[in-house]
Structure 1
Amino acid sequence: MSDVDTQFSGGRVYHAGELMDLTVGVTDGTVTHLARPGTALNATEQIELDGEWILPGFVDGHIHLREPGYVEKEGIETGTAAAAAGGVTTIVEMPNTTPPVLDVDRLEEKAARFARDSHVDHAFFGAITEENVGTGNIEALAEAGITAFKTFMATSFGPLLMDDKGVLYRAFEEVSDTGLPLYIHAEDEEYLDEFTTRCKDQDGMDAFFDSRPPIAETTAVSDVLDMVEATGAETVIAHVTTAEALSRIRDGRADGLPVHAEVTPYHLTFDRSDVAAIGTAAIGTPPARDSQNFEGLWTHLRNGDVQLLGSDHAPHRLEERDQPPLEVPPGMPQLETAVPAMLEAIDRGRLSVEKLVELYAESPARLHGLYPRKGTIRPGADADLVVVDPDREWEVDATRFESAADYSPFDGMTLTGMATAVYQRGTMIAKGGETVSEPGDGIRLS
């Protein structure tokens, strides 16, 4: 009788903050052994590696799928297949579907769809809008097992717009009472209205960039920090794009505020000139900034001022991008390029593997109450493992994505570093960028 179901040998395992030469034993979907190289664990299945890294399955707390509502843009089946292919074994799915997740009934309707179709393990956000503040639905959603809330201070998803600061303040108070984190899209709607009006007669990509200037983000971030200080609500400022906003968040944290900064791999890869050269297929909000600011994001990240990476995966159809920049719906597929983009950054010396695991596995798992089941490799944790060849060079081909979206700002780029095999609870779910699991293999987490 075997001691373990599966033994992984010959890899460099990320454990206790560093890559180590260890043998991993997995039984019933759980890590049961971390042993010295050469240890024989009497396994049913032996997986022999040749120095590849074994990293924890990545945890993405910022995923927008489009089901229910717009499954042709990205359904649960295609979106979670994209996650698996990209090395993301756990997602926390945003609530701005149609209809949005404003109450427990809508949550359970969505959860039933995920139970049928998801390739990866998953948890859920609840939505915050004027419609459910003060109704009891916020508390009920927390009790029903969501792991965070989300709202928008600016027009990114109209039904969840919270541009009344009085109502937003009450929302912060209610969320604080639940003990769950609140993610917020922080741009000032009044500034966006003003600058969009100024840009209405402009042509080209500059109209998009100029319609959402840095002051819209920095002003909103300062307002959020004041609300966090007044209410104590743990808050994530999503997809921060300006170095100045990161400085303000850093200072707030130094003063003891429970606030976290999230940055996307997209904003750590492309600056304004890159996006302008690619065109409307690369439009996301808030926008990529200039090259000086781009370097500022990296400086803040290396200095410990960024707490989370999130992909902000949010596909639209390619034909929707073929219109004037101010009319393009923001968002694009990111799940299959987020980890590779950061592996490329490691290869270039911008990022360490320790920081990647901290920001894109351990920290989001902790924030969403999933650690140490997720986000780490240790006995007792789920055996969510990503085998990475850090030296593999490959070219991004968006037409081969598992995502329903077949375009990407990364399309045609040569990257170094690939997730060659992905395991969820001990079972392979992707190999060489192709998903091999079945819809419904993912389980709900709360």
Structure 2
Amino acid sequence: MALDRVIKGDLVLPGKLAENGWVGIKDGLVADIGQGEAPEAAEVTDHSGCLVFPGIVDGQTHAGSIAGFKGLQDLTRSGIAGGVTTIVDMPFDEPDPVWSRDLLDAKIDVANAVAHGDVALYGSVKKQVETDQIASLAEGGVCAFKMSTYESNPHRFPRIPHHEMARAFSAIAETGLTVAVHNEDQEVVDDAIARFKGAQQMGVNVHHPSRPPLAELLANAIILEMGAQTGVRAHIVHSSLARGFDMARQYRDQGFQATCETCIHYLVFDEDDVLERGARGKVNPPIRPDQKDAIWERIEVGDAAFVSSDHCSWPLERKPDDNIFKAAPGAPGIECMLPAMITSAEARGHGAVLVAQMMCEGPARHFGLWPRKGGIEVGADADFAVVARETYRHDDATLHCEMASWSPYDGMEFTGRVSETWLRGMKVFDGTEVLNTPGDGRFIRPV
């Protein structure tokens, strides 16, 4: 078989690192893998000494929170520059969440027209659940469903009442897909915020106590028990607490389908970092004191499904430091996710294999995208993130996210730099510039 291209480097394969490896590409797919002397090919790209990851799969992004579906263009361009070749985008778009088939079809059309990388999609539900729409969304190609126990906006980000959530869980169980839930209890959070506002305490220092651990743990209990009762795959979408992973494991030990993810900011920052960064460090649930190491420990024992960015492209004017309750929650992070994860993992004595488990194979399996995505495997899409083993200090001026040209990672020292990104056998990032055009990415369904 005549190969179109061979890429050489240290291949990050499922469960192992293949030093002095090579991967052969044919028609945009992985055609062969080996070590040592590589076969002949029309083109050879030599990255000897560099890590060659599968293309990163970011299992939680919010492309449409600002600009609607067209936000996919900016977010995927930034993702490509960070080695992210596939995103799983949340449904809470402006102006309408993706809770109907017509909205899903419209978002798919936009993704195919503007995306730089591949796009998988969540669906959602209305407060009064329409079970026929759940079935139609699944048929239309969503890879999971998302809802919330906390209402930040009655239309775009509603709280689903418990009885309606149970109806949705039962209907989603019939599709075989996962249901993921934003995990904060409305009453506990609203009461805490009201008390701090009443005391005129509105600085960043009250963000964590205004959304206390109790709110997260109560919501987890509802999500997991409802999943157990309905038979659905219940997923805690972003745990800021190690106990969230413990709770999911306890349900798995009882035979139920329960999983938990975390986000890169919970593995890199603690509350002191938030106090230093001000509103730029505001995410929901909050970054907690004394949880970073504990969450890492849950990853190390295999209790985390995957790690995501939770990227949201808020402009800085939406992040006022003088009133934390007016600051939008979330931050850009997709472009720094892989270097930050490599750096944090290395600091704990872990190599590239664990990083790939959490950012490639884990999310790909979770969303039904494996084996097409998430691994350097024969037959998979030839998606790669090439990482040079070098230390550098991140500068936000280099970011490719035009809607939000800032991040909480500015000035941080990383130990791996994304030097190239490949999408289906095509080089799409050269270490400085994104090379492909809007529409080169595709909507992808679960396998």
TM-score with structure 1 setting the length: 0.95
- Residue aligning to 1:114: 111
Q: SS in structure 2 opposite 1:52?
A: strand
Q: Which letter does structure 2 place at the counterpart of 1:314?
A: C
Higher mean Cα deviation, 158-167 or 137-146?
158-167
Please give the alpha-carbon distance, in whole angstroms, between the structure 2 residues aligned to 1:164 and 1:378.
43
Q: Which has the larger displacement, 215-224 or 41-50?
A: 41-50
Any residues of structure 2 matched to 1:96-115 within 5 Å, and which? 96-97=92-93, 98-115=95-112
Q: Distance in 1 between matches of 2:250 and 2:195?
A: 33
Aligned to 2:124: 127
Superposition pairs for residues 364-443 of structure 1, below 5 Å?
364-389=363-388, 391-403=389-401, 404-443=403-442
How far the C-alpha of 1:16 sits from its partner, in A, is 3.9
- Decide whether the 8 Å contact of 1:121 with 1:444 is kept in 2: yes
Instruction: Write the deviation string for residues 311-344 of structure 1: whole angstroms up to 9, x where unpaired.
Output: 1011211011025101111011010111111011
**2:193 aligned with 1:193:** no
State the percentage of identical aligned residues.
32
Match of 1:146 in 2: 142
Q: How far has the Cα of 1:283 moved from its partner? A: 0.7
Contact 1:3 1:43 in 2 (8 A): yes
Aligned-pair distance for 1:351? 3.5
The Cα shift of 1:393 comes to 1.4
**CA 1:183/1:351 → structure 2, altered by over 3 Å: closer, same or farther?**
farther
Q: Which residue number in structure 2 is paired with residue 282 of structure 1?
A: 281
Q: Which residue of 2 aligns with 1:137?
A: 133
- Distance (Å, rounded) in 1 between the aligned partners of 2:171 and 2:242: 30
Counterpart-to-counterpart distance in 1, 2:264 and 2:396: 17
More divergent stretch after superposition (156-165 vs 329-338): 156-165
Q: Residue 381 of structure 2 contacts residue 424 of structure 2 at CA under 8 Å; is this kept in 1?
A: yes
CA contact (8 A) 2:78 2:335 kept: yes
Match of 1:229 in 2: 228
Instruction: Give the aligned partner of residue 358 of structure 1.
Output: 357
Q: How far apart are residue 352 of structure 1 and its match? A: 3.2
Distance in 2, matches of 1:393 and 1:71, equals 36
**1:308 counterpart residue number:** 306
- Which AA in structure 2 matches 1:438? T
Instruction: Please tell me whether the aligned partners of residues 83 and 89 of structure 1 are also in contact (alpha carbons under 8 angstroms).
Output: yes
Q: Deviations over 1:57-103 (max 9, x none)?
A: 11111110027x6259x822111001101111011111100211111
Match of 2:78 among 71, 75, 82: 82
Q: Which residue of 1 aligns with 2:203?
A: 204
Residue type at the aligned position of 1:242? L
Conserved? CA contact 1:29–1:427, under 8 Å: yes
Distance in 2 between the 1:430 and 1:417 partners? 16
Q: Distance in 2 between matches of 1:156 and 1:350?
A: 39
What displacement does 1:432 show?
Answer: 1.4
Amino acid at match of 2:347: R
AA aligned to 2:110 is R
1:62 corresponds to which residue?
60
Structure 1 spans left out of the alignment, 5+ residues: none
Q: How many Å separate the matches in 2 of 1:238 and 1:350?
A: 26
CA contact (8 A) 2:239 2:245 kept: yes
Q: State the shift of 1:214 in Å.
A: 0.4
Deviation at 1:170, TM superposition (A): 1.1
Q: Contact 1:302 / 1:351 at 8 angstroms: preserved in 2?
A: no
Aligned to 1:422, the other structure's residue is in SS state strand
Corresponding letter in the other structure for 1:47: T
Letter in 2 for 1:164: P
Q: How far apart are the structure 1 equivalents of 2:286 and 2:2?
A: 52
User: 2:305 touches 2:366 (CA, 8 Å); kept in 1?
Assistant: no
Q: Deviation of residue 169 (structure 1)?
A: 1.2
Q: What is the letter of the counterpart of residue 38 of structure 1?
A: E
What CA deviation, in whole Å up to 9, does each residue of 1:3-37 have, x standing for no partner?
A: 1100112x111224111132211010011111331
1-side partners of 2:154 and 2:127: how far apart? Answer: 12
Residue number in structure 1 paired with 2:181:
184
User: How big is the shift at 1:441?
Assistant: 0.3
Instruction: Determine the structure 2 residue equivalent to 1:93.
Output: 89
Deviation of residue 137 (structure 1)?
Answer: 0.5
How far does residue 157 in structure 1 lie from its aligned partner after superposition? 4.5
TM-score by length of 2: 0.94
1:347 CA displacement: 2.7
Deviations 1:207-244 (A, max 9, x none): 22221000000111011111011011112201100122
- Superposed counterparts of 1:198-277, under 5 Å: 198-200=195-197, 201-277=200-276
Q: After TM superposition, list the pairs within 5 Å mapping 1:149-160 onto structure 2.
A: 149-159=145-155, 160=157
SS in structure 2 of the partner of residue 136 of structure 1? helix
Partner of 1:53: 51
Q: Identify if the C-alpha distance between structure 1 residues 350 and 202 changes in structure 2 by more than 3 Å, giving closer, same or farther.
A: farther
C-alpha change, 1:110 and 1:53, in structure 2 (3 Å) is: same
How far residue 299 of structure 1 moved from its aligned partner, in angstroms, is: 1.4
AA aligned to 1:44 is A
Give CA-to-partner distance per residue, 1:92-142, whole Å, 9 cap, x none.
1111002111111101111111111100011111112314x1351111100
| Aligned partners of 1:396 and 1:411 also within 8 Å | yes
Contact between 1:175 and 1:181, CA under 8 Å: does it hold in 2?
yes
Q: Check the 8 A contact 1:124/1:146 in 2, yes or no.
A: yes
| Cα pair distance change 1:221/1:350, threshold 3 Å | farther
Letter in 2 for 1:140: S
Q: Distance in 2 between the 1:235 and 1:208 partners?
A: 27
